[in-house]
Amino acid sequence: MTIPDRPGVKGHDLMALERFMDDTRHMIEFDVLSWQAPVGDKGDYIRAFVTEAAYAKALAAQKSGHIKIRRHATVIEGHILPDKPKKRRRGR
């Protein structure tokens, strides 16, 4: 399953070379919530193909309130594997 390209997304294109680099492990799409964010301007929606270390920095930026990760997918040898939605229990 491929993820469709969205208009207005800044950052990496779905066919960006970064996607196929050996150390790329994650694709994230996120909203920039503050002017102090480490990347982008407030209000931007950004896609990035990142390493484990960069993903950890993105999680830290989300925890501090600078960004909000909207979509995540694992990248294996250039293949994008979207996270499965969490199952909801019925009757609870």
Q: Is residue 91 part of a domain?
A: no
Q: Is residue 32 part of a domain?
A: yes
Range of the domain at 74: 10-80
Question: Which residues, 6 or more positions from 64, have their beta carbon under 8 angstroms from its beta carbon?
Answer: none
pLDDT score of 5? 62
Query: Tens-of-pLDDT digits for all 92 residues of the chain?
Result: 345 566 678 999 999 999 999 999 999 999 999 998 888 899 999 999 999 999 999 999 999 999 999 999 999 999 999 998 877 777 65
Q: Is residue 54 part of a domain?
A: yes
pLDDT score of 51? 97
Number of domains in the chain: 1
Q: Which helix (H) or strand (E) is 73 found in, with range?
A: strand 67-76
Question: Which residues, 6 or more positions from 38, have their beta carbon under 8 angstroms from its beta carbon?
Answer: 57, 61, 66
Q: Is residue 39 part of a domain?
A: yes
What's the whole-model pTM score? 0.82
Q: Is residue 92 part of a domain?
A: no
User: Whose CA is closest to 40, among 16, 17, 69, 15?
Assistant: 69
